[in-house]
Structures are given as structure tokens and as C-alpha cells.
A and B are shown apart, each in its own frame.
Chain A
Amino acid sequence: MALITTLRNLRQRRRAEREFDDEAAFHLEMETEANIARGMSREEARLTALRAFGGVVQARENVRDTRVLRVESLWLDAKYAARSLMAQPRFTCAAVGMLALAIGLSTAMFTVLDALILRPVPFREPAQLAHVWMGTDRGGRAVVSPAVLKAWRDSAAFEGAESAMPATVLLEVGETVVARESAIVTPGMFKMLSNVKALRGRLFDPTDGRPGETDRVLVSETLWRTLYGSDAALVGSSITVDGRRLLVVGILPSEFKFPSARTVLWRPTDLNGPGEMAKAYVRFASNMGRSDSLRVATEAARAADASNAQLRPRVYPLAGLTDSFATQSVRVLAGGVVLVFLVLCANVCGLLLARLTARRREFAMRAALGASRARLLRQALAESVVLAVAGMVGGAAVAWAFVSASQQVIPEALLLETLKPLTLDARALLMTSAFGVVAILVSGLLPAWLGTSVHAGDSLRVVDRGATEARAARIIGRALVTIEVALACTLLVGATLLTRSFVKMSQADRGLQTDGVTTVWLAFGSKGVQDDAAARSAIARSVEDELRQLPGVRQVAWSYGLPPHGGMLSFGDWTSDLP
């Protein structure tokens, strides 16, 4: 856009110059003829006319300056600003660095908080989405049976009710076998979540998962890139999952993480399989109250399945850190980030204002030399804008670096809490940049305003006497220092309290001793073993016997899940004895 404007102005300028050349030529001819009429020779007449004209080029530039929009002079302003900033590299580095740090740090922090706590579910109207278990009033919970889920679909309780059952699968590619997290989903799930688009191929059709059409599979971009070498022909070909050949119908983008952050493969189901379980996800209708929905859902559940008589649907969020400690500390953290941002901005302002004295003299001098106030303000504006743009670019880079680093630094357990990819939040960047730019503009324009408000003669006198600082500047400087100290104190207190909370949390007695405990997941590849408790036990025994032979192993135990989650599957429990 800017380029087009510039080009248009250039063209306009050329035309203006050409027209002026015509005009000037006309003027010279007329003048020459008039001179001849006064009795001069032709040559003399022309020279006199040219002399009177006073330099065609200069006149042309004068005309051009008045005719053409000031794009070029804006560019000159920016160039001059950049030069004057370069002349003070230490000041410029400090100001740009601090601004970049302020913008980058707060953007990165916001991005992380946003992913973990504020909006961990990247689907349409995430507040309407929920994960539902059947629960007793005493806190026990049970899975939703397929019959109940279907009853909910038929009732008016929810806008949508779908199932996504997690399962570990073994993938065979050539000679390698790897275990990955997968989910068995009802085809309508993607539509209910919405905002889901296949990277290649398609999502599940409503018919997928029906008898005879269960051999379909969707894989994630991550899996496609890492395990299948970005094979362009993967969609439409078959892969081996748990010993079965399944047809890949589509590839989902790596940003799509559902039902857990680790899920990389999806299989369809119609929930009609023998003994099949559902793990219910629902979307509440926006035109119905939450309690009404749940009341209707309770009635439907009890009608559909007698074993639900004492149970009520319980709603859980899809993802995110939701415990009270997390939500409380997020407020403190967010407050801390805001404070850091303000301190850094105040620093930048202080830095800019510190130059007030020097700038005042420069401005006074230029005002005395005839620069108008508007011109001086424009110059100061250009300087601030150059500074702000540099700060914004630096801020984006810093934010990007922090976000990338945070993926390594943040514990994996925390990262698994979000379904949202940890990428730079453009809106946050825009927001913090806007504040940073305002801070720069205010503190950049203030000196210019004060510097130009005095009569040129007065300010020159100030310069002559070598007066060190204007009164207004002193007042503003002091106010800034006061604000900064206040902010820093608040920050210090906040940080101390936060650290104390974390220390107390980490010292809290969890009722478990995890020292020296190693856990291993065992995934069974073949369907026969998966369903046969005796076969599972046999394998487990042999593994256990070998484990006991290892030096240093004191105890071995089996479980379907780790505390505090426990086994969530409620079929055929078996555990080995403790030695």
C-alpha cells in the first residue's frame, strides 16, 4: 500500500516537474520577447531573462515542494531520525533493548498463560465445550455408556454429544514398532469441535466406524512427518496399527490436539461395538441454561441406562490448569508481567526524557533558525516512530525467542495440559506493542513540545547561560522515578509472595513417596491379547519375573493407571502380588 502511494507520488512528481518545465519555458520566451521589444539583442534578451528567472532548477524544486504530498519529506524525516539515533548508539540500544524486552517478555508470558490457563481449548466457543463423566454426589465417577450418549444426542440437553476414547496403539513401519497415543472417536466429533480442517484428505464421514467401515484412520501431521517421512501418497494407503491394516483417509494439522496433547492418531467408531465404552464430550446449547441442560441430561441418562439411577452427569473442562492454585497464581503472574512491562516502559520514558535538556537546546536552536513548531514536532515524531518500530521488531524477536525457549523450559506435564499449540500470540504482540509505542511517543514528543513552546529568543538565552534543565523536565523526571520505584516495590513484594507460595506448594505432603520409583507403560499390540485378561496376565508375569532379576529392583507392581488418576477403565482388574 505504502509502495503504491510512493509510486503514485513519484509519478505525480515527474508530471509536476514536466508541467513546470513547460511553464518555465513559456515564461522565459515571453520575457525574452519583452526584452527584445525593449531594444536588446536576442542573445542578451535571453540571458537577462534567465538571470531574472533565478535558476530554473531551484524554482522547480520550490514548486515541487509545494505541489507534491510530503511523502519524500517524511522519508527524509525518518532518515534524519535514524541518523540522529545512530549518533547516540548507547542511548538507542538501551531504549530499543528495553522496549523490545518489555514487549517480548509480556507477549511471551501472555502466550504461555493463554495456552495453559486462559484459553487452553482452541475450538469454537470453548466455554460451551465440556468433558462429561457420570458421577455420584460423593465424588466417585464412571464413564458414560454408549446408550446414554446416544440418548443425549436424541434429547435437547446438548447441542452435540460425542465420544473420544484414548488408547495406546502400536504402529509398525517396516521393522520398527512404536507406541503412540490415539483416540477412538465418533465421526461427529470434528464437527462439534469445529475449526478442524484436514491438512490432506478428509475428516471422518458419518458412515465411518460402522460395521465394515472401521478400518479407517486419521493421522496427525507430526506422525506423518516423523514416522512416515512426509510421504505424499500416505492418504489412500494403508498403515499397520496394532497389527491391523488401516486405510489413512486424512492428515490432521499438528496444531490439532484432541482429546489430549499427545494424541496423534484417530480411529472412528459408531459406539455399537460389543462392550464398547464412551468418553463423552458435549457442546452445550447457547440458548439453554447450564443447569437446565444438565437436568435434561440426567433424566435422559437415567431413562436410557438403569445403572445411572444414582448418578448425575459431571462437567469437566477439556483442558487447562483449572485448580485454584493455578488460577490464583495466574493472576499474580499476570500482574507481575504487567508490572515488569510498566517498569520497563517507565525506564524507556525516563531515558527519553533524560535527553530533554540536550534536545531542548537543539530544538531551541532550530526554532531560532526558523523551523516551525509543527516541523519540530514532526521531527520528534519521526524519531519516536523510528525508535518504536525498532522496539517492536526487537520485541517480536524477543517474544519469539522466549516462546520457543518456553517449550523446552516448561515441564512437559504442564505443556500436556493445553490443547493449544504454544505459538506466538499475534494479538498479544499487537497489544503490548501498542502500549510500548504510546509510551515512546508520549515521552518522545514531550521534549519537543516543551522545547518548542518557549519563544525562540528565550530558549536561546537558556542555551547561552548553559542552564542545565528546564523545570518541567525536572518535575516529569521526578514523577517518573517515583512511579518506577513504586512499581518496583510492588513487583518485589508480588514476586516474593509468589515464590513463597510455590515453595510452600512444593513442600506440601502429597501422601506419596515417589523417590526411586520408575514407571513403565506396557501396550499390547494384538487385539486378542488386549481383550483376554489371562493372556495379559501371562505376559505381565514373564515381564515381572525378568524385572525381579534386575539388581536394585525391590518391588514391582502393576496398575491400569498411576496415582492420583488411578485406573479409569473399569473392566477385569488384576494386580500382581507385592513381594
Chain B
Amino acid sequence: MPKTEYLQGALDLLILRTLALGPNHGWGIQQRIRQVSGEALTVSQGSLYPALHRLEAAGLLSSDMSTSENNRKARIYTITAAGRRRLSLETEDWRQFALAIRRLLQEG
């Protein structure tokens, strides 16, 4: 499992990426990240929720209190246009970063 500090930097990216697929609540985002990464990435709630609120405050997400499928009150997050722009930027950054790391590792 990757160490947390790798995850921290990428957390915003992961959240934005997940929400780009469709609106979701906090728990749903967490589950999806875990599933899609093949159980490799686990986001703790302690960092997930502050990150969500921070992104919302930055205008990259919007949220709404609504009732979920099983009739419970849940906050549903939706990605905004600004969020999508940020996502494409960060995705590119991350690709380059990953590429650089891979090259470095192959060198050695």
C-alpha cells in the first residue's frame, strides 16, 4: 500500500477524478477510490472530509444536502466547471511527475 504522504498530494486529484464520473457523497467517494484502485488506496475520513470542504471553499466542488437512495440525509458533492479545469491540469502534472519517477527508477 502506498504511503500516506504520496496519497496526500494526490488526494485532490483523486477526489476530482472520482466526482468527474458523477455526483457522489463522501462515503461513496471513499468506496470508489478504494474499489477502482484495487483496494490499494484508502482515504481516511479524517483527510477526506476536510479535503472535500476545502475544495468546495475553493469553488472546485459544489454540494447539496439531499436524501440518498435509502432515504437518509446525505451531502452530495458535484464537480464544478472550475473543478474540471483543475482536474485536467492536475492530471497532466501527475502524468509528468509519474513519468519522471519511472524514468529515474529505470535509470537506476
Q: Once bound together, how far apart are the Cα atoms of A63 and B26, in whole Å?
A: 13
**Is B68's beta carbon under 8 Å from chain A?**
yes
- Whether the Cβ atoms of B54 and A66 lie closer than 8 Å is yes
Q: Once bound together, how far apart are the Cα atoms of A58 and B46, in whole Å?
A: 8
Per a CB cutoff under 8 Å, which of B31, B49, B73 touches A63?
B49
**Is A34's beta carbon under 8 Å from chain B?**
yes
**Is A545's beta carbon under 8 Å from chain B?**
no
Per-residue B-contact encoding for A54-70, CB less than 8 Å = 1, 0 else:
11001100110111000
- Whether the Cβ atoms of A63 and B53 lie closer than 8 Å is yes
Q: Which residue of A lies closest to B45 (CB)?
A: A53
Per-residue B-contact encoding for A1-30, CB less than 8 Å = 1, 0 else:
000000000000000000110111011011
B63 to A: closest C-beta gap in Å: 9
Q: Which residue of B lies closest to A27 (CB)?
A: B27
- Whether the Cβ atoms of A34 and B53 lie closer than 8 Å is no
**Is A544's beta carbon under 8 Å from chain B?**
no
Number of interface residues of A (CB under 8 A): 22
Q: Once bound together, how far apart are the Cα atoms of A66 and B50, in whole Å?
A: 6
Once A34-B31, A67-B57 are accepted as A-B contacts, the answer to whether A59 and B72 lie under 8 Å apart by CB is no
A541 to B: closest C-beta gap in Å: 95
- Range of interface residues on B (Cβ < 8 Å): 10 to 19
**Is B74's beta carbon under 8 Å from chain A?**
yes
Per-residue A-contact encoding for B59-73, CB less than 8 Å = 1, 0 else:
000000100100011
**Is B86's beta carbon under 8 Å from chain A?**
no
B66 to A: closest C-beta gap in Å: 11
Q: Once bound together, how far apart are the Cα atoms of A411 and B49, in whole Å?
A: 72
**Is A512's beta carbon under 8 Å from chain B?**
no
Q: Once bound together, how far apart are the Cα atoms of A24 and B27, in whole Å?
A: 9
- Whether the Cβ atoms of A22 and B73 lie closer than 8 Å is yes
| A67 proximity list for chain B (CB < 8 A) | 53, 57
| Chain A interface, DSSP helix/strand/loop, else mixed | helix
- Whether the Cβ atoms of B50 and A62 lie closer than 8 Å is yes
- Whether the Cβ atoms of A27 and B26 lie closer than 8 Å is yes
- Whether the Cβ atoms of B54 and A30 lie closer than 8 Å is no
Q: Once bound together, how far apart are the Cα atoms of A27 and B26, in whole Å?
A: 7
| B68 proximity list for chain A (CB < 8 A) | 26
**Is B44's beta carbon under 8 Å from chain A?**
yes
Q: Once bound together, how far apart are the Cα atoms of A24 and B50, in whole Å?
A: 12
Per a CB cutoff under 8 Å, which of B44, B46, B74 touches A23?
B74
Q: Which residue of A lies closest to B31 (CB)?
A: A34
| B30 proximity list for chain A (CB < 8 A) | 27
- Whether the Cβ atoms of B50 and A52 lie closer than 8 Å is no
**Is B25's beta carbon under 8 Å from chain A?**
yes
> Can you pick out 5 interface pairs between chain A and chain B where the beta carbons lie within 8 Å of each other?
A22-B73, A24-B49, A30-B27, A62-B46, A66-B57
A-B contacts besides A26-B68, A66-B54, A66-B57, 19 pairs, CB < 8 Å = A19-B65, A19-B75, A22-B73, A22-B75, A24-B49, A26-B27, A26-B72, A26-B73, A26-B74, A27-B30, A31-B27, A52-B44, A53-B45, A54-B45, A58-B46, A62-B50, A63-B50, A63-B53, A67-B53
